[in-house]
Chains A and B, each alone.
Chain A
Amino acid sequence: MTINDSPSESTTTAPPDEHLGQSLKVASDHRHAVRMGRVRRTGLQLSVLMVFLAVWWLIARMELVNPLYLPSPGAVWDAFIQSNSCRAISETRTVCGEQNYYMWEHLIASLQRMAIGVGIAVILGPLAGFLMATVGWLNTALEPYLNFLRSLPPLGYIGLLIVWFGINDTSKNWLLFLAAFPPIVIATINGVRGVKQDSVHAALSMGANRWQVGTSVILPSALPEIIAGIRIATGFAWTCVVAAELNAGIPGIGGLAFTSGQQLQTALTIACIIVIGLAAVALDALIKYLGNVAVPWYGKA
């Protein structure tokens, strides 16, 4: 045995041919089963949607409920299209979208508020969490207040924010920041506390100073938890943005949902609700995807 041999444990024992064929077949059967499972699952979920739409359509069609309360699926679709296009209301005037904005502009406006409020929390949250996890007295001093802030429903203090920052975007941005900040800080603290001691020791015995331990070991170790925190915070902030737009929320998808309801444009309200839900799912998927890109080792090491 010499040092330069290729590592013995890297050479897998090659199975005999029929054995190999067997295991290939097993593998392909497995893939097939997985694919079938996925097709069947999606099929099942789609049929629920179909049944739901059919029942909805039937109820609306038979006018069991006043269409003011429950417009038909078709009416909701029409409201959706109409809110994203222009229409002539007289010989000389055309109207575009709803409440002077296309629906996608309402959506973008809400997402912009998210980007500012949550974006700042994404920058400051990990910093604060990092400091709190590493500076003992800071954590002792601040932890109860952080937990207090986290347990407050943000909509409980929107009134105060409006008094302080006005009814427009500033108060909404603050609300989103305050909603997203605590979960990110707490996730960061947990992530930093969960770093394996030996990981830090290994770095120290390789000559790392405190700063290098922080940036090269603790931060990447805590990253999966930080990203999980950002995901939770984003979902939470989205539920808040929609509600925060009850006040001066135009443009804003939550504002549109609320205003259209008040004006008895029920079909548009339902269209807004569906868009709000789909946007939440898309946001979550986006963060999950970015997380997988940033932390490819998660669950593997």
Chain B
Amino acid sequence: MVLAAVIVLVPRMPRWDRVKKSFFDVEQMRDSLPRLIDAFWLDVKIFAWTTPAIFVLALLIALARNSRSPALFPVRAFAAVYTDVMRGVPVILWIYLVGFGVPGLGLERPYNSPLLWGSVALAMTYSGYVAEVFRAGIASVHESQRAAARSLGLSSWQTMRFVVLPQAVRRVVPPLLNDLVSLQKDVALVSLIGPIEILRQANIDKAKFANFTPFIVAALIFLAVTIPLTRLTDYLWHRQQRRTTGTRVAA
């Protein structure tokens, strides 16, 4: 309905012609598309190398927060402060702080690349969010599972590894994918400190041709990736729901 109204009404607006020219210029699209796809490769690469780093870091933080030994109190406290600080500051600010700040310390090439430190900033912040997801998953595994494992003589680490974590991770796959969808978009923020990824390339094209169409193309490229990811998340979520909440009633 709304969509139909937009399709019918928007072209009747008085300045539609001008907007159409500056946002939906077909020539411009054809010209920008290859360049933007090329630039998007950098986004994909940043995504690809930050994701494993995020998972490893987040898992370590979550395990630290779930440790029980009284001696490990400082570790728990550090993990708690870490997640609070990472989640309490906007991603973009971390990217500025780390991406400009660390290279500004006077590091040698290649260790002064904003691309490197921008990625590090992303990994840091996202590991804070993902750690909380893991922690919730670990907490959701019933204490009796631990009792059963410990009573068989498994150490607390073996209990975590063989009994708690596999169940925890299975339960949090949907929220994890959700975070990955956000990460996929936030990768573009790295452009703000220099690297020419898709958003920056679109901006360059826009300036060069005095036309906004490259932004539309960039948005479409993002959608082409995030929509399938989102659908996959939904699908896994529903499957999980069915498993844990029993058979659905018909209506």
Q: Do A and B come from one complex?
A: no
Contacts from A to B (Cβ < 8 Å): none
Chain B positions near chain A (C-beta within 8 angstroms): none
